Structure 1
Amino acid sequence: MEEATSILLGFPPEADISNDDFYDQAVNIHIKQVEHLLSAKKTTVSGEDAVKILKLLDPAVHSISYLAILDSLSTYDGLSHEDRGRALIDFFLNFDPRQIRYVGSMFSLGLNRISTDSFPLPHDVKVSLIAGAILKIDPTGSMLTSHHLALVNLAYETDTAEYAFDVLDKQIVYFPGMSRNQGDKYKCDMSLPPTDYITPETGLTTRLDIQPTLEYDLLSGLLYCSRAQWAKACAAFERVITHPTRDGGVSTIMTDAYNKWLLVNLLVNGHTPEMPTHIGTAAKKAYETLSKPYAAVASHFDAMAALPLKEEVERQGETWSNDQNTGLVQQVLAAHQKWQIMDLRNVYSKVAIADIRQTTCSAETGDALPSDEEVEKLIQGMIVSGMLKGMIEKPADKPPYLTFLSESEELSESEYKHHIASAVQTLTELEAMYKTTNARLSTNPYWIKHLIREQKREKENAGQEPPTFDDQIEDEDLMSGVTTGRL
């Protein structure tokens, strides 16, 4: 046990490990020693000894050793579920991401164990641990991994959406399998972009084809819907419907997302959205053909015709149920009168509550609200939620009325500073992403081929505008380093 303890506590060494060359050599030697020590055929470390050693290790300092011991104890009955759970929590809260780049497969295995139904942790803790681990490995959150999909699936199935939002709110730019340009840098170089160390080869992710990528965005949209974050849901669904496909057509999951995108847009903007310009002609026709019931709802919503909207929704009840969109459709009905009130801003600066009651109608019932008090309650809810900027005034000698306030916001000095700091941070992150993407494209054969074709077309067409890069992506380009509709 003494020899085992010496090996497992032997990394990191006391010497300066800021030098990447020295660190890389030391960590690889340590991994070989640990693998030899814990080899299933040669190990002399009993389960009881491993439990004792685990208590001596600090997961923040001895991350590789701690994870290796935990892995060796995965089938040991002498470690209780509670102790196993505490050890895993301790590890995933404190691990050193620099070390973990070298043991990605073992790390991923441990992370996968957390998401299983049999693992003894509350659902919210599981989701929090997975989300925290993803962002610790990649603080930018810009690289989609197989763990992202496990995260959204678990959060959706267990209704723990809010614990996943720190990951979901990040802008995805990179995907597994994108061409890399690591050069002579080591995995331990903390300046590396995520594409250079989060790869199927390092084990920190598996390969993802188009289907799981679309599933991630669809489930992200559903999670945002579950917490009424409609604008974010709309953006997630739009990423699905604009995803490039081999033949320019649409899949079932894309059509499902389009239906939800239409409905959520009604909630966010109060009218039927324009189809994104970068959707191809074939895809547009397919969406229009396959989503006619939803287009009919949107048309009635635009016309501010509450009763026809209600009747259309009731007539297509089976459709909403089969598509699992009944809840969203009910949200649309409930929002319709709110948008009728919002449209009054275009005509009035002030309007009596009684007039609002007479001129608007509930799409849920097909009738006006039963009292002015119900109208007041509806408007107050809109004001509190931030949907409507206004105030209800009740003068002593006059009926109550709604005053619409200016939509523009005057920021305080502290708020202005916060916005500036946030913008600077965003630009800094985008600069790093731009440099990585530019380096990747500069060596990508498909991009180079595109540039050559474009130069030829410019000469042949005498200055006429050539087709866009999107239009020329070939089948094999889709998930092999050239992905559109995201940047």
Structure 2
Amino acid sequence: MEALHKTLERCPSPEDYGTNYALLHSALKDYAQSIFYMPKATQGLIDENALAILKLLDPSQDTLAFLFVINIALAQKEVSKEVLDKVVLFLCSFDVCQVRYAGAAFSALLTKIASESLFPPVVTINLLVEAMVRLEPSGTMFTNLHLPLAKLVYDCGDFDLAARVLDSDILFYPSTANTKESRPLCEPGLPPYVFMSTKTGLTSLVTASVVLEYNLVRSLIYISAHDWAKAYSALEQIVTHPCKDKSVSKIMIDAHKRWLLVSLLHTGKNPDSPPITSRSALNVYHNKNRPYLVVADHFDTDNVIQFADACQEHTQMWRADATESLIDQVMMAYQKWRIINLKNIYVCLSLSQVRRATLDAVTRQPLPTNAALVVMLQEMVDSGMLKAIIAPEENDPDTEGSLLFTQSSQWSSEKEFGDTISRTVQSIKDLGQQYRLVDERLSSNADYVRHLAHNKKRSESEKELDPTLGFESQVEDEDLMTGIVVHS
């Protein structure tokens, strides 16, 4: 037992290798091999004494050994509370470099936690988020754990728990393509797609349907929280998902329905289709989702009768599509956005004028009293939807008052302005780095290179047929005094 403990504790320390990452890489690789390919007899000994061994190991220093023993302990028929406590300790303190050399084992542990009821849902979500963020802090790499996590969050209903993962912008997806990166796995500063790969085992390949479903579940989470901006963004990623020929999936069609409705709640107007939406997808959306398009068309008008009719004409469809609650919210938002749009014409107007100028889409009538209007206006102001000052009569809210639209100010002080500038500069730097990583990733993808070559050839052919097609792309600058200058 003592000899086994010494074997498990022999993990190479980065302090012994300094910046010689090649030697550290070799040492960690050999150590991982010795741990995870132990003789069956030795593994049996560990199985019998798993908890005792875990008590002797430090998860932050002996990460590989700790992981190996934990997986053996969790394979037992009955798992004790003490072992589960060790799992929590491990996921909160593991060495992020060491687990790159045992990616399959680490991924198996997280998958087991996500799929089995070892912990209460809230604890499970917290553990998965903690592990995923510690492993890849930028959150730009999609893994096979993203969808299970999103489903757990949606079922749990506590949406803030996983915001650090769900709110991250995904830039990279698992691939079997080789990267140009030749640096060792233990070297700092590696792009996430190098160590979070199928080769290291920290993730497995994902299909397009998994990515689509993940964004759909995210959107449902945000819709439940009435976070229309994030829901709109998540749905837009589905609507614009690349598709070959006419292979537009049902998830994409369903997402487009919700995207239209969420856009009305988020921006108050019928959205333009993103320019990167494929032509085949647009055709399918327009054919399949016509009733939703009609609702969106009428929302941005003052004709409450046509809008209400469009909402109430296809109630069976809304129910079948599970969009009935969204339609109801869109109807309730109709009058609110009519009020917000009044700021384009007025600076201040009386509450009675506001009541007469806007109609409730549910009743198709103005609100019955100024008091009812004040309640709605106050809710809009409190939520940040409306920037205005409500000035009712002090003693009797049902008498004449006024609504004063105010200009929203982004900064309340010079310090806040300076902080915003600093964050913007940092964001630009981060975007530049991310752009370089994405460009490098795509340039090594043979399919993408062929796609670019095909597009270039097609554009050249179209230009030969119509020489004016390339005019806009040739215009680089404009001199207001001399006109357009074209640089060849």
TM-score above 0.5: yes
1:131-146 maps to which residues of 2 (within 5 A)?
A: 131-146=129-144
What letter corresponds to residue 310 of structure 1 in structure 2?
A
What letter corresponds to residue 57 of structure 2 in structure 1?
L
What letter corresponds to residue 110 of structure 1 in structure 2?
L
Checking the alignment, whether the CA contact within 8 Å between 1:180 and 1:440 is kept in structure 2 is: no
Shift of 1:456: 6.1
Partner of 2:43: 43
Shift of 1:175: 0.9
Partner of 2:428: 427
Partner of 1:94: 93
Secondary structure of 1:115's match? helix
- Structure 1, unmatched stretches of 5+, are 467-487
Checking the alignment, whether the CA contact within 8 Å between 1:179 and 1:440 is kept in structure 2 is: no
* Aligned counterparts of 2:336 and 2:455: Cα–Cα separation in 1: 50
Partner of 1:5: 5
1:400-415 maps to which residues of 2 (within 5 A)?
A: 400-415=401-416
1:29 matched to 2:30? The reply is yes
Partner of 2:365: 367
Checking the alignment, whether the CA contact within 8 Å between 1:458 and 1:464 is kept in structure 2 is: no
Checking the alignment, whether the CA contact within 8 Å between 2:392 and 2:401 is kept in structure 1 is: yes
Secondary structure of 1:392's match? strand
Decide whether aligned partners of structure 1 residues 276 and 451 sit closer, same or farther in structure 2, where only a CA change above 3 A counts. closer
Partner of 2:60: 60
| Equivalent in 126, 129, 137 of residue 128 of structure 1 | 126
Aligned Cα RMSD in Å? 2.4
What letter corresponds to residue 430 of structure 1 in structure 2?
L
Checking the alignment, whether the CA contact within 8 Å between 2:239 and 2:255 is kept in structure 1 is: yes
Per mean C-alpha deviation after superposition, the further-off stretch among 362-371 and 451-460 is 451-460
Checking the alignment, whether the CA contact within 8 Å between 1:360 and 1:368 is kept in structure 2 is: yes
Shift of 1:79: 4.3
* Aligned counterparts of 1:457 and 1:363: Cα–Cα separation in 2: 49
Partner of 2:445: 444
* Aligned counterparts of 2:244 and 2:452: Cα–Cα separation in 1: 21
Decide whether aligned partners of structure 1 residues 465 and 360 sit closer, same or farther in structure 2, where only a CA change above 3 A counts. closer
Q: Which has the higher contact order (CA 8 A, sep 6+)?
A: 1
Checking the alignment, whether the CA contact within 8 Å between 1:221 and 1:236 is kept in structure 2 is: yes
Decide whether aligned partners of structure 1 residues 280 and 442 sit closer, same or farther in structure 2, where only a CA change above 3 A counts. closer
- Structure 2, unmatched stretches of 5+, are 471-488
Checking the alignment, whether the CA contact within 8 Å between 1:145 and 1:205 is kept in structure 2 is: yes
Decide whether aligned partners of structure 1 residues 280 and 304 sit closer, same or farther in structure 2, where only a CA change above 3 A counts. same
Partner of 2:172: 174
Partner of 1:206: 204
Partner of 2:483: none
Decide whether aligned partners of structure 1 residues 40 and 328 sit closer, same or farther in structure 2, where only a CA change above 3 A counts. farther
* Aligned counterparts of 2:134 and 2:262: Cα–Cα separation in 1: 32
Partner of 2:111: 112
Checking the alignment, whether the CA contact within 8 Å between 2:153 and 2:159 is kept in structure 1 is: yes
Shift of 1:41: 4.7
Per mean C-alpha deviation after superposition, the further-off stretch among 47-56 and 388-397 is 388-397
* Aligned counterparts of 2:228 and 2:266: Cα–Cα separation in 1: 6
Checking the alignment, whether the CA contact within 8 Å between 1:222 and 1:233 is kept in structure 2 is: yes
Partner of 2:225: 227
What letter corresponds to residue 53 of structure 1 in structure 2?
I
Partner of 1:84: 83
1:447-462 maps to which residues of 2 (within 5 A)?
A: 447-449=448-450, 461=463
Shift of 1:76: 3.0
Checking the alignment, whether the CA contact within 8 Å between 1:177 and 1:207 is kept in structure 2 is: yes
Partner of 1:475: none
What letter corresponds to residue 87 of structure 1 in structure 2?
K
Secondary structure of 1:223's match? helix
* Aligned counterparts of 1:73 and 1:436: Cα–Cα separation in 2: 40
Shift of 1:451: 5.6
What letter corresponds to residue 70 of structure 1 in structure 2?
I
Partner of 1:416: 417
Decide whether aligned partners of structure 1 residues 150 and 241 sit closer, same or farther in structure 2, where only a CA change above 3 A counts. same
Decide whether aligned partners of structure 1 residues 243 and 450 sit closer, same or farther in structure 2, where only a CA change above 3 A counts. closer
Checking the alignment, whether the CA contact within 8 Å between 1:60 and 1:91 is kept in structure 2 is: yes
Percent of aligned pairs sharing the same letter: 31
Checking the alignment, whether the CA contact within 8 Å between 2:46 and 2:53 is kept in structure 1 is: no
Shift of 1:408: 4.7
